């Protein structure tokens, strides 16, 4: 091992970029020394600036492409490279899918210790652009200015509406057009910016805890055409809100509801304590698999509608769900998986920690006339491990569908799930590393991986959803 790093911070080096590492970074090797490179694509030869130099590895950012990888493409968005929203617009979509699949293969090999498991090609989004049904933009008086921006895009650096640059949550990049959302949503963005800028309405500053405008959240039912504009402000200004609603509807008649969430706290979140609804019902409806879901300003909903259907269909197909099945939907959130599968099985029981999510799930079941679904509120471990009353009167599960948060499952929850003794188990994971760790425990307790099916819910980011189908040996 070398005692001094071969590079220093600020060095400009030439690198042959070999493979994909993690979190969208690639790896280059100089002799045996590892350099993690951002803004590169495996197969590139680049000139790069060293940003971190350690004894065992360095980090660099590509500043010039000397020879382009065959997988490199021209990014569609002018904000790409600065905006924190997309990391992979310069990688062909085909290659993005290959890299995501490889991430699953690597995680299951290195963390799970699995060899020779079938990992299918990742299922890609039908349209890798315009796919998001929700986008959250920030108002700010602290613009992130690039050279190209100066004098061009940003008219007034003390009034911007957009997205954060990568890893800079204190700054906002003015966004005119974002290709992750629909053209109508982009129109809402520009009408909103113009309206408030023309009136010199103040922007919220966290330091002073004053200023009116905080966030703009745009939601869209991809199947229904419903559209919600949710303006998050520090205080209540009904007259201004009324004028804004009028201007919005005149400019974008496709809007079906307008909400004003009032958040008087310092917390930097687009959630209010109070709501005004100057137009429409205050909710939108979206469909999954022909079922309807009512979404309010604060409810959680999967952001890629079309791919969510693909994801859930994959789970249904792999688990061979049938009319006799009793499904336990663990970490059920607002109940979308459970309600989606309910018409095809005999019974669904969902378990979820957050009370408001459970209320949404029950409401969604009622809304669809689904009567074979129950949602229980509480910690999974408490509800499954201790033989509480509900278990005695409920049918035993034949299938488990598990969809935990990114951090994965508590080890005791994994053990408890395995002890339920079902033959078929579907683990929907949004983080292959924690999923591989949890599946390793399940494998030690008698389950075998039948197949892994990655599904791409978030094109142009390095995130991947992965469905693991396990059977009891
Ligand atoms: N299946 C849902 C969402 C899953 S997100 C969907 O597709 O929409 C993970 C969910 O697990 C979150 O709603 C979170 O509140 C819940 N959760 C986290 N820890 C939990 C625990 N210990 N017990 C029960 N639910 C938990």
CATH of residue 210's domain is 2.40.50.1070
Decide if 452 is inside a domain: yes
Last residue of a domain, one of 296, 328, 355: 296
**Residues 246, 286 share a domain:** yes
CATH for 37: 2.40.50.140
Residue 33 lies in a domain: yes
Which ligand 1 atom is at minimum distance from the Cα of 410?
22
Co-location of 158 and 282 in the same domain: yes
Is residue 424 located within the same domain as residue 355?
yes
Question: Ligand 1 pocket test: which of 333, 338, 388, 438 has the largest number of ligand atoms within 8 Å of its C-beta?
Answer: 333
N-terminal to C-terminal alpha carbon distance within the chain: 45
315 and 455 assigned to the same domain: yes
Check whether residue 246 and residue 266 sit in a common domain: yes
The verdict on whether 430 is a catalytic residue reads yes
Q: Identify whether the C-beta of residue 458 lies closer than 8 Å to the C-beta of residue 310.
A: no
Range of the domain at 390: 97-127+300-472
In a domain, 82, yes or no: no
Residue 200: alpha-carbon gap to chain centroid: 33
| Contact assessment for residue 159 and residue 204, using Cβ atoms and an 8 Å cutoff | no
Check whether residue 254 and residue 110 sit in a common domain.
no
Residue whose CA is closest, atom 10 of ligand 1?
331
Do 311 and 450 lie in one domain? The reply is yes
**CA nearest ligand 1 atom 20, residue:** 353
**What sign has the CA pseudo-torsion 384, 386, 390, 393?**
positive
Do 310 and 332 lie in one domain? The reply is yes
Residue 147: which region, alpha, beta or left (left: phi > 0; alpha: psi -120 to 50)?
alpha
Report pLDDT digits (tens) over 311-327: 999 999 999 999 999 99
Instruction: Kindly state whether residue 79 falls inside one of the protein's structural domains.
Output: no
Same domain, 306 and 277: no
Give residue ranges with CB within 6 A of ligand 1.
302, 331-334, 336-337, 351-354, 357, 379-380, 403-405
Report the separation in Å between the CA atom of 330 and the middle of ligand 1, taken as the mean of its atom positions.
7
Would residue 83 count as lying in a domain? no
Alpha-carbon distances of 173 from 81, 139, 184, 322, rounded to whole Å? 12, 10, 20, 49
Which CATH number covers residue 392?
3.40.50.150
- Is 175 inside a domain boundary? yes
- Does residue 309 share a domain with residue 451? yes
One domain, residues 140 and 123: no
Domain finish residue from 296, 330, 360: 296
CA atoms of 473 and 353, how far apart (whole Å): 31
pLDDT, tens digit (0-9, with 9 covering 90-100), for 392-416: 788 999 999 999 999 999 999 999 9
Count how many domains the chain has: 3
Query: Could you read off the pLDDT tens digit of each residue along the chain, which spans 473 residues?
Result: 545 778 899 999 999 999 888 777 899 999 889 999 999 999 999 999 999 999 999 999 999 999 999 999 999 998 898 898 999 999 999 999 999 999 999 999 999 999 999 999 999 998 999 999 999 999 998 777 665 544 444 455 679 999 998 888 888 999 999 999 999 999 999 999 999 999 999 999 988 999 999 999 999 999 999 999 999 999 999 999 999 999 999 999 999 999 999 999 998 888 889 999 999 999 999 999 999 999 999 888 999 999 999 999 999 999 999 999 999 999 999 999 999 999 999 999 999 999 989 999 999 999 999 999 999 999 999 998 776 678 878 899 999 999 999 999 999 999 999 999 999 999 999 999 999 999 999 999 999 999 999 999 999 999 999 999 999 99
Examine the domain organization and report whether 289 and 309 are in the same domain: no
Residue 331 CA: nearest ligand 1 atom is 11
Report if residue 80 sits inside a domain: no
Question: Residue 211, by phi and psi: left (phi above 0), alpha (psi -120 to 50) or beta?
Answer: left
Of 289, 352, 384, the one to substitute when testing ligand 1's pocket (max ligand atoms within 8 A of C-beta) is 352
């Amino acid at each position: 091992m070398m005692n001094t790093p071969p590079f220093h911070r600020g060095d400009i080096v030439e690198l042959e970029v070999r493979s994909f590492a993690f979190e969208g970074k690639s790896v280059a090797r100089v002799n045996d020394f590892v350099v993690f490179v951002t803004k590169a694509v495996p197969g590139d030869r680049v000139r790069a600036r060293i940003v971190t130099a350690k004894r065992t590895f360095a980090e660099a950012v590509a500043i010039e492409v000397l020879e382009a990888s065959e997988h490199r493409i021209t990014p569609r968005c002018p904000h790409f490279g600065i905006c924190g929203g997309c990391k992979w617009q310069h990688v062909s979509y085909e290659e993005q899918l290959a890299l995501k699949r490889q991430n699953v293969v690597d995680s299951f090999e290195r963390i799970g210790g699995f060899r020779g498991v079938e990992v299918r090609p990742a299922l890609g989004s039908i349209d890798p652009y315009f796919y998001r049904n929700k986008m959250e933009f920030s108002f700010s008086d602290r613009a992130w200015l690039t050279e190209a921006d100066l004098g061009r895009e940003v008219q007034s650096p003390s009034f911007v509406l957009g997205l954060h640059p990568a890893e800079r949550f204190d700054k906002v990049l003015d966004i005119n057009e974002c290709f992750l959302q629909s053209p109508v949503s982009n129109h809402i963005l520009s009408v909103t910016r113009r309206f408030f800028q023309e009136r010199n309405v103040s922007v919220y500053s966290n330091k002073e805890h004053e200023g009116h405008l905080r966030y703009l959240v745009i939601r869209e039912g991809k199947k229904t055409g419903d559209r919600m504009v949710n303006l998050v402000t520090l205080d209540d200004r009904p007259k201004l809100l009324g004028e804004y609603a009028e201007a919005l509807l005149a400019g974008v008649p496709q809007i079906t509801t307008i909400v004003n969430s009032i958040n008087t706290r310092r917390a930097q979140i687009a959630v209010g304590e109070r709501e005004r609804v100057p137009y429409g019902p205050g909710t939108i409806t979206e469909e999954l698999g022909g079922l309807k879901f009512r979404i309010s300003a604060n409810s959680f909903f999967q952001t890629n509608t079309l791919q969510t259907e693909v994801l859930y269909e994959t789970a249904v197909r792999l688990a061979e769900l049938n009319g006799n099945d009793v499904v336990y939907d663990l970490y059920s959130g607002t109940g979308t998986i459970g309600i989606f599968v309910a018409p095809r099985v005999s019974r669904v029981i969902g378990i979820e920690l957050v009370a408001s999510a459970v209320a949404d799930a029950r409401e969604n079941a009622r809304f669809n006339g689904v009567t074979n679904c129950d949602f229980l509120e509480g910690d999974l471990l408490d509800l499954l491990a201790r033989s509480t009353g509900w278990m005695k009167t409920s049918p035993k599960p034949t299938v488990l569908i598990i969809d935990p948060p990114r951090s994965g499952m508590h080890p005791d929850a994994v053990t408890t799930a395995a002890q339920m003794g079902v033959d078929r188990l579907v683990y929907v994971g949004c983080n292959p590393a924690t999923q591989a760790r949890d599946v390793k425990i399940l494998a030690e307790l008698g389950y075998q991986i039948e197949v892994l099916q990655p599904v791409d819910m978030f094109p142009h980011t390095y995130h991947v959803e992965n469905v693991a189908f396990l059977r009891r040996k």
